[in-house]
Amino acid sequence: MNGVHDLGGMHGLGPIVREENEPVFHAEWERRAFAITMAAGFLGEWNIDMSRHSRELMPPAEYLATSYYEHWLWGLEHLLVEKGLLTKEEIEARVAELRKGAVR
């Protein structure tokens, strides 16, 4: 699709900042986002190309304002809802619980 992910040739995005000794994950939640994406992928409900397309469906303004693993999470949530494994309400309820610090 002609999405915002297809950045090749675009101007104005600034330089690519190279990080010395870049860690695989920059925060614990990124490690977890990667792990649950792998685990959920193993369910066999979708393939890697479907995962990639799912991330492309993120609204363009949101996509540009968020980081790599935020794209992963958005794509995963989209697939989980699309395949009927979770509902948006269930995800929102869990987020609300986490916000309150009721669960870890």
- Kindly list the residues in this chain that would bind other proteins in the complex (CB under 8 A): 1-2, 6, 8-9, 38-39, 42-45, 47-50, 52-53, 56
* Closer residue to other proteins (CB): 7 or 27: 7
* Closer residue to other proteins (CB): 43 or 95: 43
* Closer residue to other proteins (CB): 43 or 91: 43
User: Minimum Å distance from CB 46 to other proteins?
Assistant: 9
What's the burial of 41, exposed, middle or buried (CB within 10 Å: 0-12/13-18/19+)? middle
Q: Which of 41, 35, 39 has its CA nearest to residue 54?
A: 41
Place of tokens 């040739």: 9
Residue 33, token pair as written in the block: 């986002």
Cβ neighbours of residue 56 closer than 8 Å, sequence gap 6 or more: 1, 3, 5
User: Minimum Å distance from CB 54 to other proteins?
Assistant: 9
User: Minimum Å distance from CB 39 to other proteins?
Assistant: 5
